[in-house]
Amino acid sequence: MTVHPPVVGHCDELLEALAAFRHSAHVTQRWGDRLAAVLSGGGRLLAAGNGGSAAQAQHLTAELVGRYRDDRPPFSAIALHADTSSTTAIANDYGVDEVFARQVRAHGREGDVLMLLSTSGASANLLSAADAARAAGVRVWALTGCAPNPLMAGSDESLCVEAPSTATVQEIHLVAVHMICAAFDAALERGARSARGAGRAAQRKRR
């Protein structure tokens, strides 16, 4: 991997990582399509991370509860780390490794999706959350740094960013979040067009 100079070299490092990540676009497309099916069917997205990855996870849930680009209905998406009372109570009573796993057991239902973001792919509290999710029938997706890593191995699917610095991995994770949201919205629009077409066909038959 190329060693870049400081400051402006950060841009070069990001460009290099982004060019490699572009080949993963099909995975973000699949995840966005799947999320549209799950959430429009009444399911839920749970998301979690630590530090900067927590901010990225919360960014994703905000785009789904709010909107990404165009106006559309809100969908159920919860950033587990954002509930400070629950996370601190769980950490105090059960230990830090349980802060997300216990919330997954509380909120996750079979068919839901858990998105875990980690630059290291080795955070113990995320690994515990993945175990809890799989036990509950919740599908686990991981956005991580370089492969292989424990979180990648403990998830149903993963996207791993090959980059030398934590900052660049996090920046690519944000790109991935936006790609997933774009695919999500496109899938919803396809579904709406299909429903409108079916409705018009039904009206023609009644005539």
Residue 70, C-beta contacts closer than 8 angstroms, at least 6 positions apart: 185
Determine the pLDDT at residue 31: 98
Determine the pLDDT at residue 7: 74
Determine the pLDDT at residue 34: 98
Contact status, residue 64 vs residue 184, Cβ threshold 8 Å: yes
Alpha-carbon distance of 194 to 189, in angstroms, equals 9
Determine the pLDDT at residue 192: 81
Structure token digits, residue 123:
């955070």
What single-letter amino acid sits at 44?
R
- pLDDT tens track for 79-94: 999 999 999 999 999 9
Determine the pLDDT at residue 207: 65
Structural domains in the chain?
16-191 (3.40.50.10490)
Regions of the chain where pLDDT drops below 70: 1-4, 195-207
